[in-house]
């Protein structure tokens, strides 16, 4: 009896991983192999513990490489302009750290190292042999991008065997834009199967691991991007976000994620997972940065946003200016620009604590109180007023409408690509993705979009407090919102639950960002204390979320040291204001932490 024939996807995956491994060691002159004694155990288990690896690159890199990969983007660009570092030196340092990060966390799909070094050499040649002029304002800046963005000559396989070894013929507009500004793109990063999961794992490249605690998820769908940036393997990364795919990986890895409005950063030129143009009839994903500070995000967006419309047909050509000064570094200037809606010009920040589908678990509730109090304390100095907002019904209903819109195509194209190579669904997707789905009829899509429109109207009233006076003039009562990113802390692998806290703001096309606040402490865990049973279970999402706190199903100690983050939201196309709010929250929380430490 002959042996069963191997499914095609398995051989493709082996070939693809071998190709990646070769690229990881080219050129061999700058590659670093992590010693076996520093490699973590795979797969992770409770017996092996958290196995943090974020600190290991510093043990293997030179002092110069550590400095290059640790300073701010502004300081790095200044060092390149002054001739302190060449673009080649900067690119080489980041490549070495990225290669180590890959070996420790499996965060890369396409190492673009040879291409990046060739690009850096051209930048150096033109800068040194010419008149000392820079190619662009981001000359020599190393950038990484999510796997879906096309780079000519390389795959955009998005973790699907059927898309491997089919290189793109041209660059995505964002790639062209970044390179026109002087950037060097060093790698593409890992994603989840179907791009519809908040845990980055697929059959071709495997799972990306959280560098701070391998028992916890690295997030998705821009999970590889979040990990690489957190590991300092690139100066800044670009992911995409439709349900939280920038903000969630930022939360999971303790860094900053920025989801802009539609039309601010080019999104096109990516590997399609459905019909061309489908997103314009359902809900549109956006591209945005993931970075280690708000200053870094602003430094790059000041150059990207004003030029985006010339590269991306999906970008606006108006309202795309960006303040010359960093909002996070010069909040005084920013406050003069962003006059608030309060009676005396105060900038009003509303606090939303629950989406009505999931109750907050204790660490998240405590963190929200701390952030609110920190901003209130800084309110006089910052001319900020904090108000608590009741949960709007529109926010509660938004998750359901969002799910309907994201599934209008029935997943037919994704199903076809999986079945083409007999590729199975990964565990998380096995209960969430169904083959044989059918596209919704136009009438049904219109009906769902009408529901969306009504929710948008309700949000204007209930969140932004838009009102009309006796003369028909309208005004708003809230300038920005802070809320959780999830009702639970960073969960274990395969256990991320509620997406409504992030996906709803995409439904409304509001810019939203993630700001890290602090690590989980043992006092946050309330060991031995059950969740308040007097609170009614709000539904199946809430029930699953509570399991992440149930000590019969979860060891709460797994959360120790993970990062708690808050989400900031502003109105449609108020992207610049979002950067201001994120910087304001960051400043207030750090000042509050400094005051506590000073008293100890």
Q: What is the pLDDT of residue 333?
A: 66
Q: Is the pLDDT of residue 258 over 90?
A: yes
Element (DSSP H or E) covering residue 385: strand 384-388
Cα–Cα distance for residue pair 334/377, rounded to 1 Å: 19
Residue 90 phi, psi (nearest 5): -65, -45
Q: Do 464 and 439 share a domain, yes or no?
A: no
Cα–Cα distance for residue pair 110/577, rounded to 1 Å: 35
Beta bridge partners of 450: none
Q: What is the pLDDT of residue 274?
A: 80
Structure tokens at 54: 């974020």
Instruction: Report pLDDT digits (tens) over 193-250.
Output: 999 999 999 999 999 999 999 999 999 999 999 999 999 999 999 999 999 999 999 9
Span of 333-337, 430-434, 560-564 with lowest mean pLDDT: 333-337
Beta bridge partners of 71: none
Q: Is the pLDDT of residue 259 over 60?
A: yes
Q: Do 536 and 583 share a domain, yes or no?
A: yes
Q: Do 411 and 491 share a domain, yes or no?
A: no
| Residue predicted with more confidence, 276 or 177 | 177
Instruction: Report pLDDT digits (tens) over 479-514.
Output: 999 999 999 999 999 999 889 999 999 999 999 999
Q: Do 430 and 542 share a domain, yes or no?
A: no
Instruction: Report pLDDT digits (tens) over 447-486.
Output: 999 999 999 999 999 999 999 999 999 999 999 999 999 9
Cα–Cα distance for residue pair 152/467, rounded to 1 Å: 50
Average pLDDT estimate for 335-356: 90
Element (DSSP H or E) covering residue 73: helix 73-82
Q: Which domain holds residue 416?
A: 402-451
Query: Cβ of 274: how many Cβ atoms within 10 Å?
Result: 16
Q: What is the pLDDT of residue 485?
A: 98
Cα–Cα distance for residue pair 358/549, rounded to 1 Å: 13
Q: How would you classify the pairing of strands 108-111 and 184-189?
A: antiparallel
Q: How would you classify the pairing of strands 384-388 and 347-351?
A: parallel
- Closest alpha carbon to 515 in 328, 334, 256, 190: 256
Q: Is the pLDDT of residue 326 over 90?
A: no
Q: What is the pLDDT of residue 280?
A: 82
Domain membership flag for residue 152: yes
Domain membership flag for residue 325: yes
Cα–Cα distance for residue pair 124/288, rounded to 1 Å: 28
364: CB partners within 8 A, 6+ apart = 484, 486, 487, 488, 489, 564
Task: Categorise residue 401: left if φ over 0, alpha if ψ from -120 to 50, beta otherwise.
Answer: alpha
Q: Is the pLDDT of residue 130 over 90?
A: no
Q: Is the pLDDT of residue 127 over 70?
A: yes
Beta bridge partners of 189: 108, 146
Domain boundary among 420, 436, 451: 451
Domain membership flag for residue 333: yes
429: CB partners within 8 A, 6+ apart = 192, 193, 194, 196, 197
Q: What is the pLDDT of residue 246?
A: 98
Q: Is the pLDDT of residue 317 over 90?
A: no
Cα–Cα distance for residue pair 256/258, rounded to 1 Å: 7
Q: What is the pLDDT of residue 329?
A: 57
Percent over 90 (pLDDT), the chain = 86
User: Confidence band (pLDDT; 50, 70, 90) for 131?
Assistant: low
Domain membership flag for residue 42: no
Cis, peptide link before residue 294, omega less than 30° from 0: no
Domain boundary among 392, 421, 451: 451
Q: What is the pLDDT of residue 532?
A: 81
| Burial label, 71 (beta-carbon count in 10 A; 0-12, 13-18, 19+) | middle
Helices within 463-537 (DSSP H only) = 500-507, 522-525
Helices within 69-137 (DSSP H only) = 73-82, 87-105, 113-129
Q: Do 148 and 24 share a domain, yes or no?
A: yes
Rounded to the nearest 10 degrees, how much is the dihedral formed by the CA atoms of 166, 170, 172, 178?
130
- Closest alpha carbon to 13 in 450, 429, 426, 550: 426
Domain membership flag for residue 169: yes
Structure tokens at 366: 């405590």
Cα–Cα distance for residue pair 74/97, rounded to 1 Å: 20
- Closest alpha carbon to 88 in 61, 118, 109, 58: 118
The sign one gets for the Cα dihedral 98, 104, 108, 112 is: positive
The domain total for the chain is 2
Domain membership flag for residue 213: yes
- Closest alpha carbon to 33 in 104, 133, 120, 131: 104
Cα–Cα distance for residue pair 571/116, rounded to 1 Å: 37
Domain membership flag for residue 281: yes
Q: Is the pLDDT of residue 60 over 80?
A: yes
Cα–Cα distance for residue pair 96/385, rounded to 1 Å: 46
Q: What is the pLDDT of residue 331?
A: 59
Check: CB of residue 323 under 8 Å from CB of residue 333: yes
Q: Is the pLDDT of residue 325 over 60?
A: no
Domain boundary among 415, 435, 451: 451
Q: What is the pLDDT of residue 281?
A: 85
Beta bridge partners of 257: 290, 514
Cα–Cα distance for residue pair 267/279, rounded to 1 Å: 11
Residue with tokens 């708690």: 564
Q: Is the pLDDT of residue 19 over 80?
A: yes
User: Confidence band (pLDDT; 50, 70, 90) for 596?
Assistant: low
3-state secondary structure (DSSP) of residue 109: strand
User: Confidence band (pLDDT; 50, 70, 90) for 393?
Assistant: very high
Q: How far apart are the first and last CA of the chain?
A: 75
Q: How would you classify the pairing of strands 236-241 and 142-146?
A: parallel
Cα–Cα distance for residue pair 248/217, rounded to 1 Å: 10
Q: Is the pLDDT of residue 23 over 60?
A: yes
Q: Do 460 and 406 share a domain, yes or no?
A: no
Q: Do 414 and 525 share a domain, yes or no?
A: no
Q: What is the pLDDT of residue 148?
A: 98
User: Confidence band (pLDDT; 50, 70, 90) for 533?
Assistant: confident
Cα–Cα distance for residue pair 94/112, rounded to 1 Å: 12
Q: Do 503 and 564 share a domain, yes or no?
A: yes
Q: What is the pLDDT of residue 320?
A: 65
Helices and strands (H and E) in the chain: how many: 21, 15
578: CB partners within 8 A, 6+ apart = 258, 260, 480, 511, 512, 513, 568, 569, 570
Check: CB of residue 498 under 8 Å from CB of residue 398: no
| Burial label, 505 (beta-carbon count in 10 A; 0-12, 13-18, 19+) | buried
Domain membership flag for residue 87: yes
**CATH code, 585:** 3.90.1300.10
Q: What is the pLDDT of residue 338?
A: 83
Q: Do 82 and 93 share a domain, yes or no?
A: yes
Q: Is the pLDDT of residue 439 over 60?
A: yes
Q: Do 388 and 447 share a domain, yes or no?
A: no
Q: What is the pLDDT of residue 535?
A: 79
Cα–Cα distance for residue pair 377/160, rounded to 1 Å: 50
Instruction: Please provide the average confidence, as pLDDT, over all residues in the chain.
Output: 94
Q: Is the pLDDT of residue 332 over 70?
A: no
Q: Do 341 and 418 share a domain, yes or no?
A: no
Percent over 70 (pLDDT), the chain = 95
Q: Is the pLDDT of residue 334 over 70?
A: no
Q: What is the pLDDT of residue 29?
A: 83
Span of 17-21, 353-357, 391-395, 536-540 with lowest mean pLDDT: 536-540
Q: Do 489 and 422 share a domain, yes or no?
A: no
């Amino acid at each position: 009896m002959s042996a069963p024939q191997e499914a095609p996807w398995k051989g493709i995956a082996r070939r693809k991983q071998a190709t990646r491994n070769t690229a990881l060691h080219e050129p061999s002159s700058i590659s670093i192999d992590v010693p076996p004694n520093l490699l973590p155990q795979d797969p992770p288990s409770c017996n092996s513990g958290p196995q943090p690896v974020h600190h290991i690159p510093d043990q293997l890199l030179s002092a110069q490489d550590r400095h290059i990969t640790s300073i701010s983007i502004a300081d790095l660009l200044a060092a390149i302009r002054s001739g302190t570092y060449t673009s080649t030196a900067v690119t080489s340092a980041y490549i070495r750290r990225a290669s180590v990060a890959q070996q420790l966390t499996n965060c890369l799909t396409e190492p673009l190292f040879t291409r990046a070094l060739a690009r850096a050499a051209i930048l150096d040649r033109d800068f040194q042999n010419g008149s000392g002029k820079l190619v662009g304002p981001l000359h020599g800046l190393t950038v990484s991008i999510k796997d879906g963005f096309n780079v000519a000559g390389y795959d955009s396989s998005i973790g699907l065997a059927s898309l491997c070894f089919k290189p793109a013929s041209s660059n995505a507009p964002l790639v062209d834009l970044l390179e026109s500004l002087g950037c060097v793109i060093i790698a593409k990063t890992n994603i989840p199967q179907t791009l519809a999961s908040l845990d980055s794992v697929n059959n071709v490249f495997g799972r990306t691991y959280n560098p701070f605690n391998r028992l916890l998820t690295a997030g998705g769908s821009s999970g590889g991007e979040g990990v690489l940036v957190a590991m300092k393997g690139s100066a800044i990364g670009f992911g995409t976000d439709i349900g939280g795919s920038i903000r969630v990986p930022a939360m999971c890895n303790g860094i900053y994620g920025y989801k802009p409005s539609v039309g601010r950063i080019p999104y096109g030129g990516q590997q399609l997972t459905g019909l061309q143009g489908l997103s314009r009839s359902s809900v549109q994903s956006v591209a945005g940065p993931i970075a280690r500070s708000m200053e870094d995000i602003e430094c790059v967006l000041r150059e990207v946003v004003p030029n985006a419309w010339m590269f991306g047909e999906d970008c606006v050509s108006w309202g795309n200016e960006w303040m010359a000064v960093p909002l996070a570094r010069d909040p005084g200037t920013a406050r003069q620009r962003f006059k608030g809606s309060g009676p005396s010009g105060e900038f009003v920040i509303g606090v939303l604590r629950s989406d009505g589908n999931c109750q907050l678990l204790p660490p998240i509730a405590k963190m929200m109180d701390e952030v609110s109090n920190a901003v209130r304390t800084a309110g006089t100095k910052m001319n900020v007023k904090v108000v608590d907002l009741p949960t709007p019904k529109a926010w509660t209903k938004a998750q359901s409408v969002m799910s309907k819109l994201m599934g209008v195509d029935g997943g037919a194209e994704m199903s076809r690509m999986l079945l083409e190579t007999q590729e199975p669904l990964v565990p998380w997707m096995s209960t969430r993705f169904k083959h044989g789905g059918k596209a919704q009829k136009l009438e049904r899509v219109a009906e769902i979009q009408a529901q969306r429109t009504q929710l948008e109207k309700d949000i204007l009233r209930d969140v932004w407090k838009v009102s009309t006076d006796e003369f028909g003039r309208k005004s708003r009562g809230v300038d920005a919102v802070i809320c959780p990113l999830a009702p639970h802390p960073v969960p274990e692998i395969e256990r991320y639950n509620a997406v409504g806290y992030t996906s709803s703001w995409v439904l409304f096309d509001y810019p939203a960002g993630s700001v890290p606040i602090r690590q989980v402490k043992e006092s946050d865990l309330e060991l031995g204390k059950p969740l308040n049973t007097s609170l009614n279970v709000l539904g199946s999402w809430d029930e699953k979320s509570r399991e992440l706190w149930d000590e019969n199903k979860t060891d709460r100690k797994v959360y120790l040291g993970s990062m708690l983050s808050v989400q900031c939201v502003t109105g449609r196309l108020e992207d610049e204001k979002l950067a201001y709010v994120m910087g304001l929250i960051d400043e207030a929380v750090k000042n509050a932490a400094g005051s506590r430490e000073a008293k100890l």
